[in-house]
């Protein structure tokens, strides 16, 4: 979808597996709590239900639904928003060692929602007003020769994102918001595509010799590419890996399935995947011979 669709389709497809990983998270939370409640206190309110794992998942969906209506501020002044909590869910699901952190945060948000139940009123102060700068971004403040240098340069990420992304049917604010609003009921985590809106005002960078690639993949390449589809990665869906493999083509790539949790090979390695990759790089053995 990142090739054929627009950037909001890309975010939606990329995050399609979040709900599946959340069910795995809920199942492990319930099982841990049945052994020791302190291991996952989020499960406490669900242990007496007929299906604790699905009950936990339903409660998480309810949290997201409530945050979509309003934000909630705790007694310390910290505000939980729809975007921040959904981003926290995907980030923490990507690393199983952080699942206990996620469980604690979700329990805190749920407790806050249940105890608050009123609309958040934001206080306006003089500091809330930011003067808009008319016209284009003031490039005179930056050296044209170092505009994109440095690992943490603020221009690098949007430069790549805006250059490589497709904005067909969403090239203005109204169309962008309407398109995103239609995606959210299907996949609430697609809301994270909101960050793509920064490109609606991104300037034309052709003067800096940046290039876009919009052609089909070359007919043949000398060495096949390994494309690994991860079955339980909240950030990069399995269907997205398949789409990438289809784009490259079977003549130019081999597809390998890594069945693991989190960000795949990095967070949940296994000998099957490691051995297959090693064999492929060392002697060119096809990954299709491995299972």
Residues 15 and 77 in one domain: yes
Q: For the chain, how many structural domains are there in total? A: 2
268 part of a folded domain: yes
46 part of a folded domain: yes
pLDDT score for 265 = 57
124 part of a folded domain: no
47 part of a folded domain: yes
6 part of a folded domain: yes
pLDDT score for 35 = 93
Element (H, E) at 259: strand 253-261
3-class secondary structure for 149-215? CCCCCCCHHHHHHHHHCCCCCCCCHHHHHHHHHHHCCCCHHHHHHHHHHHHHHCCCCHHHCCCCCCC
| CA neighbor of 265 nearest in space, from 253, 275, 254 | 275
Strands 253-261, 225-232: pairing kind: parallel
Residues 183 and 284 in one domain: no
Residues 238 and 114 in one domain: no
| CA neighbor of 56 nearest in space, from 117, 110, 115 | 110
Residues 43 and 163 in one domain: yes
Q: What is the C-alpha separation between 236 and 241, in angstroms, rounded?
A: 8
Residues 47 and 187 in one domain: yes
Q: Is this model's pTM higher than 0.75 or not?
A: no
54 part of a folded domain: yes
134 part of a folded domain: no
Element (H, E) at 21: helix 18-35
3-class secondary structure for 28-47? HHHHHHHHCHHHCHHHHHHC
Backbone angles phi, psi at 256, to 5 degrees: -130, 135
215 part of a folded domain: no
Range(s) of the domain holding residue 111:
1-119+157-199
pLDDT, tens digit only, all 291 positions of the chain: 445 678 999 888 888 889 899 999 999 999 999 999 999 999 999 999 999 999 999 999 999 888 888 889 999 999 999 989 999 999 999 888 899 999 999 999 999 999 986 444 433 333 333 233 333 333 334 444 455 555 556 677 777 788 888 888 999 999 999 999 999 888 888 888 998 998 898 876 666 666 666 677 777 887 788 888 888 888 888 888 888 888 888 888 888 888 877 665 555 567 777 777 777 777 765 544 443
Residues 190 and 267 in one domain: no
């Amino acid at each position: 979808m990142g090739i054929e669709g627009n950037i909001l389709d890309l975010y939606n497809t990329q995050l399609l597996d979040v709900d599946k990983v959340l069910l795995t998270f809920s199942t492990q939370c319930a099982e841990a709590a049945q052994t020791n409640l302190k291991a996952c206190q989020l499960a406490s309110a669900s242990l007496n239900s007929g299906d604790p794992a699905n009950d936990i998942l339903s409660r998480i969906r309810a949290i997201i639904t409530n945050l979509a209506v309003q934000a909630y501020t705790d007694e310390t002044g910290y505000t939980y928003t729809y975007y921040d909590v959904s981003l926290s869910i995907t980030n923490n699901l990507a690393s199983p060692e952080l699942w206990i952190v996620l469980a604690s945060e979700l329990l805190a948000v749920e407790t806050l929602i249940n105890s608050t139940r009123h609309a958040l009123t934001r206080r306006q102060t003089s500091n809330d007003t930011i003067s808009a700068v008319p016209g284009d971004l003031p490039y005179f403040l930056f050296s044209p020769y170092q505009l994109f240098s440095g690992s943490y340069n603020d221009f690098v990420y949007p430069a790549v994102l805006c250059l490589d992304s497709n904005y067909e049917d969403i090239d203005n604010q109204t169309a962008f918001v309407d398109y995103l609003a239609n995606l959210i009921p299907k996949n609430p985590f697609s809301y994270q595509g909101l960050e793509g809106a920064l490109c609606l005002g991104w300037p034309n960078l052709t003067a800096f010799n940046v290039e876009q690639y919009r052609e089909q993949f070359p007919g043949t390449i000398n060495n096949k590419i390994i494309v690994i589809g991860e079955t339980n990665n909240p950030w990069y869906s399995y269907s997205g890996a398949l789409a990438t493999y289809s784009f490259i083509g079977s003549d130019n790539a081999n597809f390998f399935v890594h069945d693991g949790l989190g960000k795949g090979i990095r967070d949940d390695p296994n000998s099957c995947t490691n051995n297959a990759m090693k064999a492929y790089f060392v002697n060119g053995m096809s990954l299709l011979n491995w299972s």
